[in-house]
Amino acid sequence: MPLRRKLILAPLALACAPAWPQASAPVTLAGVRFEPGASVGGGALLLNGAGIRYKAIFKVYAAGLYLSARAASLEAAVAAPGPKRVHIVMLRDIDANELGKLFTQGMEKNASKDVFMKSIPGTLKLAELFARKKKLASGDAFSVDWVPGQGTTVVINGKPELEPIPEPAFFQALLGIWLGKDPADGPLKRALLGQESPAAPPS
C-alpha distances in angstroms, 24 versus 20, 47, 89, 104? 12, 10, 21, 34
pLDDT for the residue numbered 3: 41
Answer yes or no: are the C-beta atoms of 96 and 79 closer than 8 Å. no
Distance in angstroms (rounded) separating the CA atoms of residues 139 and 167: 30
pLDDT for the residue numbered 14: 33
Distance in angstroms (rounded) separating the CA atoms of residues 131 and 100: 8
pLDDT for the residue numbered 29: 95
Amino acid occupying residue 26: P
pLDDT for the residue numbered 6: 39
Answer yes or no: are the C-beta atoms of 67 and 36 closer than 8 Å. no
SS3 137: coil
pLDDT for the residue numbered 173: 96
Domain 33-192 in CATH 3.30.565.10:
no
pLDDT tens, per residue, the chain with 203 residues? 444 443 334 333 333 333 344 456 899 999 999 999 999 999 999 999 999 999 888 999 999 999 999 999 999 999 999 999 999 999 999 999 898 899 999 999 999 999 999 999 999 999 899 888 889 999 999 999 999 999 999 999 999 998 999 999 999 999 999 999 999 999 999 999 998 766 555 54
Distance in angstroms (rounded) separating the CA atoms of residues 11 and 15: 6
Helices (H) and strands (E) in the chain, counts: 6, 11
Q: Please write down the long-range contacts of 55-59, taking CB distance under 8 Å and 24 or more positions apart.
A: 56/202, 57/201, 57/202, 58/92, 59/30, 59/91, 59/92
Report pTM: 0.84
3 state SS for 96-113:
HHHHHHHHHHHHHHHCCH
How do the domains of the chain map onto residue ranges?
Answer: 33-192
